[in-house]
Structure 1
């Protein structure tokens, strides 16, 4: 049983896309005041819409962590620059796309705004937490908080420690993970961490099997779903994650860990054609 924990009082989320909005939703539902950073008015409106829809869906499922009458406008604010993050934030989570230079720029800008006691985290699924930590002024307060899609119903947050991450930063991240009603796994920084590395290895091999004509996507997924009790087969999961996201992670791990993570030709071809999975309506399945 996960012990009851209080959420951070004030949370900043940089990026209001699918993952960022879901992270913001989860903290708001747990009782945090949340400030989301988005680049312009249209993106801000889209972020608010994602959060409101997500909260309504959670209420319908009966999985809302906080009170069902959560007043979103009072609990969630969207701003247009990192400079508008609250100085008194307890936690700032960066949740933009997998571009190391972009992440570094946003994290260092956030560090100039928030107090020294604020924990900084990246939601990256594959980039080096050690390299990101080296760019901030106080690396001890930095770690990876890798959330999983769909965030509101996923039971896991993977906490990734850089060499300088302090014990107090780790303890705070564990408490806050529990406050969201989720469980933590704590890993040392390594390419792909634990989850992306293992999940990608299975996904890439499944794609190779389809490419080689061993079996069709439905058969591969059914084998893992029924034979190994995976809730979702590796190819359907690839569609949910996004084939472009899987390709970017594979390219990174190919560079850092070698040829066993070389992206299959079929994956590259589908991404080139724009068959990115659920978000485009076509991947290994039609959505």
Structure 2
């Protein structure tokens, strides 16, 4: 099944119009991915400034993909024609699927899901969260359609990483999970893994303790960031060392996920090391801030 923008009669329950809430690195990446796959994409942001920066981020990424010869100029232009931007959430009213990509703040996400529930007109519309650590059940419980809420966790950069985690809550209908999986695998061409609704899901429950252990090694002077990364790349055939990966993810994101894991499980291996906390407090957030465990141009 290939999504299309032609004026044919819509199949019941079929996802054709996608809404994205937020246009940071994840939101812009998912918007680009869906538009390239042929979906009608509308991105809702919180301010005119966010609209400009988000739109520029999408345009720049697509231009970069053309220069790298991953897509043609005609594909870029077609994708851009399918993406629109708004500062008013009501403009997502006609969407079949809304994907939330705002910051990892449980209160803000729960409030947003309550608003999306009132905004989306299609009674079969799916509400998805790109959270990497927070409770899907809590978000679902804020809506009048908890059976249609699930987690849809993309990995950065969403355009390139082939995996998406699908996380049903205690309430998610099986048919909704199947439709979401079809969108991810058939529509977007990704691979999907399912997880129960627990903090960290599958990937971060394994990845975060590993990344935190590498931070603790730097903190205690066992080895430099460069030597730790070199050891894991050359000794374990990892494509990227843990500290470069932490910088790429964002040290603030890593800190937030670690705190959520520790709050839920109270296991010491999930506790953010003091060095990570101080770096986040100081605005040293990794590649996006120009400095983390490495410096970036």
- Within a 5 Å distance, the mapping from 1:52-71 to structure 2 comes to 52-64=59-71, 68-71=75-78
- Within a 5 Å distance, the mapping from 1:133-172 to structure 2 comes to 133-172=140-179
SS at match of 1:101: helix
2:12 aligned residue: none
* 2:217 aligned with 1:228: no
Matched residues in 2 for 1:173 and 1:61: separation?
30
SS at match of 1:284: coil
- Within a 5 Å distance, the mapping from 1:1-287 to structure 2 comes to 6=3, 8-64=15-71, 68-87=75-94, 89-114=95-120, 115-178=122-185, 179-258=187-266, 259-287=268-296
SS at match of 2:167: strand
Which deviates more from structure 2 when the two are superposed, residues 41-50 or residues 141-150? 41-50
What's the offset of the Cα at 1:98?
0.7
Matched residues in 1 for 2:157 and 2:76: separation?
22
Gaps of 5+ in 1: none
1:192-224 Cα offsets, whole Å, 9 max, x none, are 111111110100001111111111111111221
Matched residues in 2 for 1:164 and 1:143: separation?
9
Matched residues in 1 for 2:157 and 2:32: separation?
11
Matched residues in 2 for 1:173 and 1:60: separation?
32
What's the offset of the Cα at 1:72?
4.7
Label 1:39 to 1:281 Cα distance change in 2 as closer, same or farther (>3 A).
Answer: same
SS at match of 1:92: strand
2:3, 2:39 within 8 Å by CA — same for their partners in 1? no
What's the offset of the Cα at 1:162?
0.7
SS at match of 1:184: strand
1:203, 1:234 within 8 Å by CA — same for their partners in 2? yes
2:9 aligned residue: none
SS at match of 2:98: strand
Superposed CA RMSD: 1.7
Matched residues in 2 for 1:100 and 1:30: separation?
30
Q: If the length of structure 2 is used for normalisation, what is the TM-score?
A: 0.90
Matched residues in 2 for 1:117 and 1:222: separation?
49
What's the offset of the Cα at 1:5?
5.6
